[in-house]
Amino acid sequence: MNIKIPAFCLLISTLTFAQTSVSGFVFEDANANAQKERRERGIGNVAVSNGVEVALTDKNGRYTLPLYGDQTIFVIKPENYRTRTDANNLPQFYHHHKPNGSPADFKYKGSVPTGSLPAELNFPLYKSAENKEFQILVFGDPQPYTLKEIDYFRRGIINEVKNNRKKAVFGISLGDLVGDDLTLHQPYIESIKEIGLPWYNVIGNHDMNFDAQEDHLSDETFERNFGPANYAFNYGNVHFMVLDDILYPDPRDGKGYWAGFREDQLKFIENNLKLVPKNKLVVLAFHIQMMPEREGDDHFRLSDRKRLFDLLRPFENVLMMSAHTHKQTQIFYTKGDGWEGAADLHEYNVGTTSGDWYSGTVDATGVPASVMRDGTYRGYSFIDFKDNKYRIQYKAAGMPDEFQISLYVPKVIASRRNSARIVANFFMGSKNDLVEFRVDGGDWKPMNYTESLDPSFLQSVFKWDSANELLQGRRPSNPENSKHLWVAPFPGKLAPGTHKLQVRATDRYGKVHTAEQNFEVKEPNPVP
């Protein structure tokens, strides 16, 4: 296989000059001591990677991969097996090969020198029956900047989830685990540990080493704390692939970051997907969304997106997950976006556990309400998988499971010549969903999809701007257009008195969600 090796991989240290390959076994660890013993059998047809190439083990469980200096070697967990987890419930499926360690002058430390590789680098696996129907938890951007915000995360999210994790078998956080201070990775880990599930992590643009002069070094502290930034694993009939989609420093000008992939990452994706059966559901997890938020937005290198789309094209079932925006959006790519698959490609841009960066006044738990700029309540998601299909449900923190729609309804309207509007914010909605309303049990009527500011969130910002004294906490961010709003006028000829408004939304999976609110109609109060 003719692979162009990235330049950084050719910088082979003097300690590893003779080590041009790595080999070993993937084996069933019968006595759970993580050491391969003679009587323990190897497991054939398991994928192992050096972050570029992907090799399958032979019938005896043996693999061999080339070695290009500093790399992380990892096993791609097959279905019906599990990897070890450490005391913090972090999966242990990898070995960092960094003979000289990470750069010593970084503000936040990376890996210590690992020295030479052992004669055999072996990966233990453990038999574990997996149902093709399973559920996972998904967090977007915990992003605490201080220990105080770690406390918000623990009280506002962890305490709720650990007592109501439902049927989830593992969890994943989609980047920005912390807010630039990488010493907070450890208290974040200690918080996640309380949930009691194996937990996978994605690197975000606030989890990087900003001292790095080359992108491949920007992950050093993340890798020390969580493992490789690019990896894959299987569960049931689903193949999960976790990717670092942040290029730092920005290759265009060396300032800030750009979203996209390096050549070695794209080679890993290509080599990995070659070995994935086409009937599997492929789930990609990365931090920065691939769709521009507005015209002229070039935050993602589109040539990389196109190459990824081409590699995903043979798969009929694909879900992509991102976070980063601190909003929630259902994104669907079509041929006009460079996607050539049979059906639209779905990217779920997930609402965040930190919401609008822990802003706003506090809720009943003493945590800032932190409603996001599009009106989505702070929260997290459950994804249910059935064979190679999926369904997603969002959970607003501190609210009942049924709270999926936020209503804006004037408390009182005039009985005639009324221009007020009903607004429904369906957090998981997209423009393809059906949202309807009725008053007093009448006929259901469709509401009109719109992309506008959420009026309830707008009111919360006005509350801060109109106060004579500073309110406790931090002012919410300025509102931005929501991609899940529906509006409708009030029906005419409503008699004075109290009326009940009901709204129902049918999501893309056919599930119906409801909300209701009363309002009052009064005779007009004309100016004398």
**Residues 430-479: pLDDT tens digits?**
999 999 999 999 999 999 999 999 999 999 999 999 999 999 999 999 99
Q: Which residues contact 470 (CB under 8 A, 6 or more apart)?
A: none
Cα–Cα distance for residue pair 371/508, rounded to 1 Å? 24
- 């999809």: which residue's tokens? 449
Q: Tell me the chain's radius of gyration from C-alpha atoms.
A: 25
Classify residue 416: in a domain, yes or no. yes
Classify residue 456: in a domain, yes or no. yes
Classify residue 527: in a domain, yes or no. no
Domain containing 229: what range? Answer: 128-396
CATH no. for residue 303? 3.60.21.10
- Domain end, chosen from 97, 126, 155, is at 126
Using DSSP bridges, classify how beta strands 133-139 and 168-173 pair: parallel, antiparallel or unpaired: parallel
CATH no. for residue 85? 2.60.40.10
Q: Note whether 340 and 440 are same-domain residues.
A: no
- Domain end, chosen from 126, 151, 180, is at 126
DSSP string across 481-520 = -EEEEEEEEPPS-PPSEEEEEEEEEE-TTS-EEEEEEEEE
Q: Note whether 379 and 427 are same-domain residues.
A: no
State the pLDDT confidence band at 10, using cuts at 50, 70 and 90: very low
- Domain end, chosen from 69, 101, 126, is at 126
Q: Note whether 509 and 413 are same-domain residues.
A: yes
- Measured N-to-C along each axis, helices 263-273 and 302-312 cross at an angle, to the nearest 10 degrees, of 10
Q: Is the pLDDT of residue 44 over 60?
A: yes
Classify residue 291: in a domain, yes or no. yes
Taking only the tens place, the pLDDT of each residue in 208-227 is 999 999 999 999 999 999 99
Q: Which residues contact 277 (CB under 8 A, 6 or more apart)?
A: none
Q: Note whether 410 and 384 are same-domain residues.
A: no
Cα 13 to chain centroid, rounded: 35
Taking only the tens place, the pLDDT of each residue in 310-361 is 999 999 999 999 999 999 999 999 999 999 998 999 999 999 999 999 999 9
State the pLDDT confidence band at 69, using cuts at 50, 70 and 90: confident
Cα 116 to chain centroid, rounded: 35
Beta bridge partners, 94, equal 74
Run of H or E including 92: strand 91-92
Q: Which residue, among 443, 422, 453, 447, has the nearest Cα to 435 in the 3D structure? A: 447
Dihedrals phi, psi of 156, to nearest 5 degrees: -85, -25
pTM over 0.85: yes
Tokens for 422? 């009903």
**What letter does residue 163 receive in the DSSP assignment?**
T
Q: Note whether 431 and 334 are same-domain residues.
A: no
Q: Note whether 121 and 134 are same-domain residues.
A: no
Helix or strand or coil: residue 159? helix
Helix or strand or coil: residue 57? coil
Q: How many domains does the chain have?
A: 3
Q: Note whether 436 and 383 are same-domain residues.
A: no
Q: Note whether 208 and 354 are same-domain residues.
A: yes
pLDDT at 13: 38
Cα–Cα distance for residue pair 368/354, rounded to 1 Å? 9
Q: Note whether 121 and 138 are same-domain residues.
A: no
